[in-house]
Chain A
C-alpha cells in the first residue's frame, strides 16, 4: 500500500495551503502575524524572566534558551490540539469524499510545522543578536524536530480517533497540556531541580526533546538526557515512548477510520 501517491500529495498540498491562507484572513498584517506572534512572545518573556523573575540568571543566553523551549512546546500544543479535532472539524469532507482519513491529521501537523518553521527563524535571529555562535550542531535540530513530529502525529492520531466518539477528549488533553507545561523544564532550567530527580523528568519525551534542542541551538551547558542518565533503559525511555505512542496511535486510528463517516 502506497501512502504518498501523487493524488494524496495533491490533497495534502491543497489542504495545508488552504489552512495557511485562511488562517490570517481579514487581518491587515496577514502572514506577518506568523512572525510577529513569536516576536512579541519573545519580548514579553525576555522582560519577565530577565528583569522581574530572573529564573535563569545562571544560564548562558537564557532568553534564547527560554524561547527555544517555548517555541517547541507551542508546536506540540498546536499540533496535538488541532490534530485532535481535525477529523471532526473536517467532518463534511469525511462524509462526502473517500480521501484517506489520515491525511486530515497530517494536514494539521504540517500546518503547525509551518508555524514552527517561521518561529524558528525568529529564534535564529535572536540567537545571533544574543551572541550565540552558529555551529554545525544546529543541524542536530533536524532529527530532534523529526522526533517531535513523530510524537505529535502519534498523539494526534490517537486523540482524533477518540474524539470522534468521546467529545471530552480535547478538554482532558488541554488540562494534560497545562500540567505538562510545568512538568517539562520550559520556563525553569533543570539545574533548579535537585539532580536525583532529573532521570524522572527525562522519561517525558518533551523534556528530552527540548533539552536536546537547547543543547544543539543555544548552549552546551544544557542538562540533557545523555548527561544525566546512565542506564541504557532510562536513556532509551523517551525514544521508546515516542515510537510506542506513534504505533499505538496509528493502529488505533487505522482501525477506527473506516467508520468515521458514520460516527461523526
Chain B
C-alpha cells in the first residue's frame, strides 16, 4: 500500500463549530453578548483525524449519526475550512454532497444541466462534450427544453443523477444521500459504483450502511465522536461498527430496564459470572432474576420471550408452591441475533393475572461467531450436525 500514489491526504484535521445560541446574528445580540461577556460555546466535531486515500481506492468513510463523517466530507469537498490541519487533494475532485445543486425550477432541463455542471467545476466545453451522454442516460431527450418545474420528481432525480455519474474527475465523493430513491434507482446507483470499482476510479463514499461498504469499499475509515477509531479493511471495520452500535443499544436497554424496576414485577439479567448485562451471544448462558415483590398470592409465573417485531419465541411457567417473591432462571437461548424482549406474567391460583401492566425488558442477542451469520437463518438455532452416513445409533 505504501508505494501507491496518494489521491487525498487528510492530516490531523480539527474542526470546531460555534454553537448557534452563542452566535451573534443581530446587533442587539452582539451588544448583549459583549455586555454580558458571554463566551462563545464551541463544539468539537472532529478532533485530530488523519488518513490517506490512495489512487484507485474505493474508500469508505463510516460512522454513526453525529460522528462527524459528514463534516469530514464537507471539509474534503472544500465547503468547510478546518480549524486546524491540512487536506491535500492531488488532482481534480468532484463532490456530490447533494444531487442537483443549484437546480432552478424556472429553467429548462438543458439549462439546468449546464448550470449544475458549472457549479460542479466543469467548463462549458466539457459540458458540451458530456451533454448528450447525460441526457441519453437520463432517458429524458424529449423533455430537455421543458422547464424543470414541469418534471416529475423522479425525472428531476434522474437528471441530477445522470450528471453526477457522467462526471469524470480524478476523485469523486458521494454522500449517502445518494441512497435515497426507489429500488430501481438504487440498483442503478450500485451498478455505477460497480463500474467505478472495476475501472479503478478513486471514489470516497460516506455511508452508514455496512452492506454497501463491505460490497464496494477496498479500504475504509471508521469515525466515532470526531476521532478515527480504525482505518483499513472494510470487513474488520464493519465488525467494529456493529460492536459500537451494540454498545449504544445496550446502554439504552440498561437504562430502559432500570426504569421498569419499580413496577409490580421485574426482571434482571446477568452473565454466568454474575455481571449484569442485557446483551448476550447466541447460545450463551443467561441468568435471570424474576421478582414480584409488590404482589401477593402469586401462584404461577410465566416468562415470555418476544422478538422485537412481536413474534412470541417461547414462554416457561414456574409454579410458586413455596410462596416466594422472586426466583432465578438460567437459560441459553439459541436464537437468531437481534433484539428481544422479556415479559413476566404473574397469575393467582384462580388464573387471574395479577400484574395487569407487565413491562417489557430489552435483551440483545449477538452473533456467536461474528462471521457465521449467513450460515443459518430463521428464528431459532436448532443444534445439528451433518453426517456422511447413517447415524451409528441406528439398529442395523
Contacts and interface: CB of A to CB of B under 8 A. Distances in A.
Contacts of B17: 262
Interface stretch (A10-18, A184-192, A206-214, A242-250): A10-18
Contacts of A259: 81
Contact of A93 (B78, B101, B107): B101
Given A11-B119, A13-B124, A18-B104, A98 B79 contact: yes
Nearest to A94: B79
Interface in B74-99: 74, 77-81, 95, 97-98
Interface stretch (A41-49, A147-155, A165-173): A165-173
Interface string B327-348: 0000000000000000000000
A92 interface: yes
B25 A167 contact: yes
Interface string A72-102: 0000000000000000000011111111000
Interface string B221-248: 0000000000000000000000000000
Given A10-B122, A14-B114, A97-B120, A165 B107 contact: no
Contact of B98 (A10, A17, A96): A96
B24 A165 contact: yes
B106 interface: yes
Contacts of B117: 10
Contacts of A93: 101-102, 119
A262 B117 CA distance: 24
B95 A98 contact: yes
B118 to A, nearest CB: 4
Q: What's the dominant secondary structure at chain A's contact region?
A: helix
B26 interface: yes
Interface in B1-49: 17, 23-27, 30
A259 to B, nearest CB: 6
Interface in A230-264: 258-259, 261-263
Interface in B96-144: 97-98, 101-102, 104, 106-107, 111, 114-115, 117-125, 127
Interface string A1-12: 000001101110
Nearest to B121: A7
A178 interface: no
A108 B339 CA distance: 56
Given A261-B79, A262-B17, A14 B98 contact: no
Contact of A262 (B78, B80, B95, B123): B80
Contact of B80 (A9, A92, A261): A261
A57 interface: no
Nearest to A164: B25
Given A97-B119, A99-B119, A92 B102 contact: yes
A1 to B, nearest CB: 14
B80 A10 contact: no
Contacts of A262: 17, 80
A37 interface: no
B77 A18 contact: no
Contacts of B115: 14-15, 18
Given A18-B107, A22-B106, A261-B74, A168 B118 contact: no
Most buried by B among A6, A25, A98: A98
A168 B28 CA distance: 9
A10 B111 contact: no
A15 B78 CA distance: 20
A98 B106 CA distance: 24
A21 B81 contact: no
Contacts of A14: 114-115, 118-119
B106 A97 contact: no
Given A10-B118, A11-B118, A168-B26, A92 B124 contact: no
A17 to B, nearest CB: 8
Given A10-B127, A96-B79, A97-B120, 5 more contacts: A7-B122, A17-B111, A92-B102, A98-B95, A262-B80
10 contacts: A7-B118, A7-B122, A9-B123, A17-B111, A18-B107, A18-B115, A95-B79, A97-B77, A97-B101, A261-B74
> Which A-B residue pairs are the 9 nearest by beta carbons?
A98-B78, A258-B81, A14-B118, A10-B118, A14-B115, A6-B123, A261-B79, A11-B118, A25-B106
